[in-house]
Amino acid sequence: MEYMELGDLSQFLKRNDYRIPLALASKLASDVAKALWDLHEAGIIHRDLKPGNIVIGNNKGVLCAKVTGKLSLARSLSLSLSLSLSLSLSLSL
């Protein structure tokens, strides 16, 4: 995973006194939703979504969020393979 200079979402919010502009909150929420959508489309479930597993970076002057943490393949109920991966929003499997 590339270096995300702004840390995770909980650190980012704390540094900003838990206040961020609505447009930024919407952008970060959209990034997370897109990442989760891509994961689910690939049959992968994120098992531990929390602020500490959402990292914030600066991509050419635009803040973006990426999802990290515990992931599981959702092939069948009897098979749950835990993975520790980092995914960018342009997930292609």
CATH architecture for segment(s) 9-86: Orthogonal Bundle (1.10)
Tokens of 32: 């997370």
**11-29 mean pLDDT:** 93
**Residue 93 pLDDT > 70, yes or no?**
no
**Residue 18 pLDDT > 90, yes or no?**
yes
Domain ranges of the chain: 9-86
What pTM was computed for the model? 0.70
**Residue 85 pLDDT > 70, yes or no?**
no
Residue 2 has a pLDDT of 64
Tokens of 65: 């969020």
Residues with Cβ within 8 Å of residue 44, at least 6 apart in sequence: 71, 72, 73, 74, 83
pLDDT digits (tens, 9 = 90+) for 39-73: 888 888 888 888 988 888 888 788 888 888 766 66
